[in-house]
Amino acid sequence: MTAGLNGYRISVMKKSFKRFLFRIAVVFCIFCTVFLFTTCQTVSSVFSEPLVSLYSVEIASISFVGTQLLCRLQVENPNAFDIPFPEVGWEFFINTNSFISGVVSNNQRIRARNSTFVEIPVNLDYLEIFNTFTSFKGRKDVDYKIALAVKFAIPVLGDKYWHIEHEDAVPLPQAPVISMPSMRVERADLTGVQVVASVNVENPNIFPLPPPKIAYDYLVNRNSFINSTIDSGPLAASSVTPIVYRLDISYADLFRNFSALQLLGSVPSLFNMEFDFGVPAFAGEIVNLQIPGTLPMR
Whole-number percent of the chain with pLDDT over 90? 71
**192 and 148 inside one domain:** no
**227 and 284 inside one domain:** yes
CATH number where 137 lies: 2.60.40.1820
Residue 43 falls inside a structural domain:
no
Residue 12 falls inside a structural domain:
no
Report yes or no: 203 and 224 within 8 Å, Cβ to Cβ. no
Q: 13 vs 3, 19, 207, CA distance in Å?
A: 15, 10, 90
Report yes or no: 173 and 205 within 8 Å, Cβ to Cβ. yes
Q: Is the dihedral of CA 15, 21, 23, 26 positive or negative?
A: negative
> What pLDDT is stored for residue 271 in this prediction?
97
**247 and 279 inside one domain:** yes
Q: Which of 147, 171, 195 is the last residue of a domain?
A: 171
Number of other CB atoms surrounding residue 148 within 10 Å: 20
> What pLDDT is stored for residue 38 in this prediction?
41
The pLDDT tens digits of the residues spanning 38-94 come to 444 444 457 889 999 999 999 999 999 999 999 999 999 999 999 999 999 999 999
How many domains, in total, are found in the chain?
2
**159 and 221 inside one domain:** no
The DSSP result for the chain, as a single string, is -HHHHHHHHHHHHHHHHHHHHHHHHHHHHHHHHHHHHHHHHHHHHH----EEEEEEEEEEEE-SSEEEEEEEEEEEE-SSS-EEPPEEEEEEEETTEEEEEEEE--S-EEPTTEEEEEEEEEEEEHHHHHHH-GGGTT-SEEEEEEEEEEEEEETTTEEEEEEEEEEEEEE-----EEEEEEEEEEEE-SSEEEEEEEEEEEE-SSS-BPPPEEEEEEEETTEEEEEEEE----B-TTEEEEEEEEEEEEHHHHHHH-GGGGG-SEEEEEEEEEEE---GGGTT--EEEEEEEEEE--
Residue 26 falls inside a structural domain:
no
**155 and 89 inside one domain:** yes
Query: Does pTM top 0.85 for this prediction?
Result: no
> What pLDDT is stored for residue 126 in this prediction?
95
Residue 252 falls inside a structural domain:
yes
> What pLDDT is stored for residue 27 in this prediction?
41
**240 and 277 inside one domain:** yes
Residue 40 falls inside a structural domain:
no
Structural domain including 161 reads 51-171
Confidence grade of residue 31 (pLDDT, cut at 50, 70, 90): very low
Q: Which residues contact 74 (CB under 8 A, 6 or more apart)?
A: 51, 52, 53, 54, 55, 115, 116, 117, 118
> What pLDDT is stored for residue 18 in this prediction?
55
**251 and 219 inside one domain:** yes
Beta strand 87-94 pairing with 158-171? unpaired
Report yes or no: 55 and 164 within 8 Å, Cβ to Cβ. no
Number of other CB atoms surrounding residue 154 within 10 Å: 17
pLDDT at 164 over 60: yes
Residue 6 falls inside a structural domain:
no
Lowest mean per-residue pLDDT among 42-56, 149-163, 234-248, 269-283: 42-56
How many Å from the N-terminal Cα to the C-terminal Cα in the chain?
149
CATH number where 185 lies: 2.60.40.10
The pLDDT tens digits of the residues spanning 168-204 come to 999 999 999 999 999 999 999 999 999 999 999 999 9
> What pLDDT is stored for residue 177 in this prediction?
95
* Cα–Cα nearest to 266, from 182, 195, 180, 181: 195
| Average pLDDT over all residues of the chain | 87
**128 and 69 inside one domain:** yes
pLDDT at 264 over 80: yes
Q: Which of 145, 171, 197 is the last residue of a domain?
A: 171
**220 and 137 inside one domain:** no
The pLDDT tens digits of the residues spanning 111-126 come to 999 999 999 999 999 9
Confidence grade of residue 151 (pLDDT, cut at 50, 70, 90): very high
Q: Which of 119, 146, 171 is the last residue of a domain?
A: 171
Radius of gyration for the alpha carbons in the chain, expressed in angstroms and rounded? 39
> What pLDDT is stored for residue 77 in this prediction?
95
What number is the average pLDDT over the span 216-221? 96
Whole-number percent of the chain with pLDDT over 70? 85
**211 and 278 inside one domain:** yes
**246 and 267 inside one domain:** yes
Residue 212 falls inside a structural domain:
yes
What number is the average pLDDT over the span 122-146? 93
Residue 289 falls inside a structural domain:
yes
**164 and 97 inside one domain:** yes
